[in-house]
Structure formats: C-alpha cells, structure tokens
Amino acid sequence: MTDAKRPPLFKPTLIIHGGAGNITRDKLPPPLYQRYRASLLNYLRSTYQLLQNGSNALDAAVHAVSLLEDDELFNCGRGSVFTSAGTIEMEASLMVTSLINDDNDPATTIPGKVKRGVGVIGLRNVRHPIQLAREVLLRTGIDEHGHPRQEHGGNMHSQLSGRHLEKLARDWGLEFKPDEWFWTQRRWQEHRRGLERGRAAYDTDDELEGLSQGTVGCVCLDQWGNLAVATSTGGMTNKLPGRVGDTPTLGAGFWAETWEEESNTSSGKDGRRMVYQSSSTSGRVDGDEHSSWSTLLRDLLHDCLSPIMPSQPGPSSSSVLPPEKQPLLSGDSKKPNVIPPSPSAHRHRRRAVALSGTGNGDSFLRINAARTASAMLRFSSPAQNLKLSDAVTAVAGPGGELQQSAGPRWGITGEGEGGLIGIEAEIDLDENQKPVQTKDDSLRRGRVVFDFNCGGMYRAWIEEGPEGRERERVMVFKDEYVE
C-alpha cells in the first residue's frame, strides 16, 4: 500500500532466475525455450505490476516465487526433483533489508525493513515452501512490547526443518498437497535414469531435454527502499535424503544487507569512507592484467583480520597500528574505536544489496557465495570503486571463486557451476538521517546484476531502455537465443 505522507523514493526493480547449470542449445529446442520464456515473462510482469502498485519487496518476491513453485518447468514446488530414495524434499528462504530506518515513518513500517533471514528445510507436502518461509520470518513469537505471544511462532529462529515445521504450517493455515500432486513424469524420468546409469545430478543425457538446473529466486527493490530476496528449490536430482543445500543457508544461496559510508561532498568530490576501511589497493579491478579476484579477496580478508591477528610476531609486528588498521573495538569494549567524521562531512551514503544464487548448491556452501560477493563490495577500499556487478563476476563469473572451488573436478561433476543475480541500491542521507532530495526530483534506481560460469541461467528482469522506457528481458545464455 502506498503511503501518502511520503512520496516514493525508488523506481521498483526486480530480477527473477529459474535455475542455472549445464544448459546447452541442443537440449533446449525452440518449443521448450518458448515455454520457459512465456512463464518467466508472465511472472515478471505480474510481479512488476505489484511493485508499481505499491507492494512491498517482501510480498512481491514471495508472489514471484509462489508462481514458480506451481510451474513444473522449474525445480521447486510442484516441479521439484526426487531424492535417491524417490522422495521429494523441498527448501526455501527469505531475507530482507532496507535503506530507510525511520521508525516514525509509516511508509517504512511494512515488513522488510530489518535485516533478517530464514530458511525452511526438508518439506514434503507444503504447496508453497516460500510462503512458509514468509510465515517463519514474520511470526517472531514476540509482540511489539517484547513479550512472548500466545501463538507458537518462529521466535526468531533462522532455520527450521522437518515434521514439526510442517505441523506449524498446518497450524498457520498453509495449503498442503498430497505426494501425487508433486509427482511429474519428467522428474521421475530423470530420477530413474540417473539411478540406472549411476550418473551425477548434473551429467548430460542425450535423451533428456532441459534437465533440472537448481534453485529459482527473485530479488526485489520496492518504492520505499526495501529489498527482499526469495529462493526455493527441490535440490539436486538424486540427492541423499536429509541433504541440506545452499538455498536455506544464510550467506550461501541468498543474502541481503545494508551498510553506511561517510560521504564528504564539501570539496565537490565523493570522498566516501567506511568506519573501517583498508588502505590497500592491490586488488584493483581497473583492467590490470596482473590483478585477480583471488588477490582481491585475499587482501580484503587480510585487511579485516590483521588488526586482531598479526601475521607473525617479531620485529616487523607492531602493537601500534595506523588509523585505518585499528580494530573496530578498542581495549575498552564499550567504546567503539571509530574514525571521527570531519566537520565538512555532512551526509552519509547508505548502500544495500540483495543476492540469490542458483546452481551446484554444495559449491555455494563451501565458499559462502552470496555473502562473499556482498563482503567484497562492503569491505573494499572506496578507492577501488567496486560495484555489485564486479563482486558477482568475481564469485560466479567464468574463472571466479565458484569455478575455482571445483579444482580438477571442474567440467566433470558439475561442481562449481552456477550463477548469481542481485540488486544494488544506495541513497544519500543528510545530518538528520533523512533522504537527500535529488536534483530533478526523479526517482532513484536500483541496479540489476547477474553473472554465471556455466552453460546458461534462466533469468528475466526489467531494464531501462531507450528514452527511459522500461524494457522486459528474458535470457538463458550469454547472448540471445536464436531459433
């Protein structure tokens, strides 16, 4: 619902993914491609309309994924793959954050303003796992006065699984379906052939078209500066019963967070800096052929850890650190050791990201993929001027952290394959923590990003076309699908 007390701040932004992996053109004939395209386009339009009508990011993201869960083309909900035991075990997750933190502004009291995330695991008969994740996210078990509610809510748990969770779903009135409703010929065929041939979940099969390719997800930015990421999956074909993937695991398959940077504009330059920053620029991304994303990640981790973990004791070590290397807390843990703002720094820039991953979930778990991409951006030196697109490519692009995690198994087992989608947004705040008015009163925009290291990634998004017109995009491969 739109609040008349405050005009919108952002133009709604969203992106949807329908899975990524060993997708090849010969396994995606035109009729099947057109089915995927039609579904993704319909869900994109429906969700974008909600955002334009004033829906919050959380509701819009849940709406999009609920539609995907009912479409057996995608590996989630009704289209979920089977375990090695011939059962279905579904997972889903949600995370929210916001660029605006004004508790007195009714327009920001909608769900999705606080950084919180949940994952639900091992679901058998809940029709929409993503809607159960929403209930777990919002039913804290605590009222507005901090007192326990009488209902049996999630009580701020970040992960729940099993039969007790499904009992909660029944108590909360969510819709259930029998096992037969989730059974599809296509997924059963994949399951049986995989068992007979002893193949891994991502092996190719000339007789099968469009093998399941992992998690679906949606990332949304609403008019009020709230971001939400929603994911849902049936997991990997013929996974062991009880396996938990990256989809319900915070930081691995999904992530959302907001942080603040000091912005000194008195000199006419953008003098951004964080409370903690590194002076190192060795991991720059300015096209230097000798720079690498692995070096960047190593330097960022070194900068974060060096204040509390000196590399080696001895003459080269010192207990006196330069200002930019001081730990976040001084000897007195009650007094944060922060860099005081200069008198001319009269505004702050708040930045936020939301990310969803899809592909080989175990690889996403091993490198904590979504959080790693966010941390690259958050803890980099402002001099590097990193964008979320840079960080996503560093993790999920060709040769990135995901691919490197597979080692010699790359291209053989499906390990390391996958992609990330995300949205990045920012806003300048004045000394009273109020949004700074734009020069022409135009709406701010979020930036849609994505990259992948494998054959393809089903994705759909809205972008700004010629003359500022909105343009719908649906793609699978790096370039356009040609029939």
Instruction: Report the relative pairing of strands 447-452 and 444-445 from DSSP bridges.
Output: unpaired
Instruction: Report the relative pairing of strands 226-233 and 90-98 from DSSP bridges.
Output: antiparallel
- Give pLDDT tens digits for 346-396: 568 899 999 999 999 999 999 999 999 999 999 998 888 899 999 999 999
What SS3 class is residue 424? strand
Task: Name the residue type at position 27.
Answer: K
- pTM of the predicted structure, to 2 decimals: 0.81
Which tokens belong to 71? 């479409």
- Give pLDDT tens digits for 90-121: 999 999 999 987 655 554 555 555 668 999 99
Which tokens belong to 14? 């969203």
* Average pLDDT score over the chain: 79
Question: What's residue 225's pLDDT?
Answer: 93
- Give pLDDT tens digits for 205-257: 444 444 556 799 999 999 999 999 999 999 988 889 999 999 999 999 999 99
Cα separation of 62 and 129, whole Å? 10
Question: What's residue 104's pLDDT?
Answer: 55
Question: What's residue 113's pLDDT?
Answer: 56
Q: Report whether pLDDT(289) > 90.
A: no
Question: What's residue 193's pLDDT?
Answer: 86
Q: What is the average pLDDT across 38-42? A: 97
Q: Report whether pLDDT(58) > 70.
A: yes
Q: Band the pLDDT of 311: cuts 50, 70, 90.
A: very low
Q: Report whether pLDDT(326) > 90.
A: no
* Sheet of strand 470-475: strand arrangement: 159-161, 116-123, 90-98, 226-233, 216-221, 13-21, 456-464, 470-475
Question: What's residue 116's pLDDT?
Answer: 83
> Annotated active-site positions, please?
215
Q: Band the pLDDT of 88: cuts 50, 70, 90.
A: very high
Nearest to 361 by CA among 119, 97, 131, 43: 119
Cα separation of 448 and 456, whole Å? 18
Cα separation of 168 and 294, whole Å? 44
Question: What's residue 159's pLDDT?
Answer: 93
Instruction: Encode 387-410: b = buried (16+ Cβ within 10 Å), e = exposed.
Output: ebbbbbbbbbbeebbbbbbbeeeb
Rounded to 5 degrees, φ, ψ at 374 are -65, -45
Instruction: Report the relative pairing of strands 116-123 and 159-161 from DSSP bridges.
Output: parallel
Question: What's residue 457's pLDDT?
Answer: 96
- Give pLDDT tens digits for 461-479: 998 877 778 899 999 999 9
- Give pLDDT tens digits for 159-178: 999 888 999 999 999 999 99
Report whether 252 contacts 364 (CB < 8 A): yes
Q: Band the pLDDT of 11: cuts 50, 70, 90.
A: very high
Taken in order of first residue, the domains within the chain and their CATH numbers are 10-260+351-475 (3.60.20.30)
Question: What's residue 296's pLDDT?
Answer: 53
- Give pLDDT tens digits for 149-160: 655 444 568 999
Question: What's residue 286's pLDDT?
Answer: 36
Q: Band the pLDDT of 186: cuts 50, 70, 90.
A: confident
Least confident of 139-143, 317-321, 475-479: 317-321
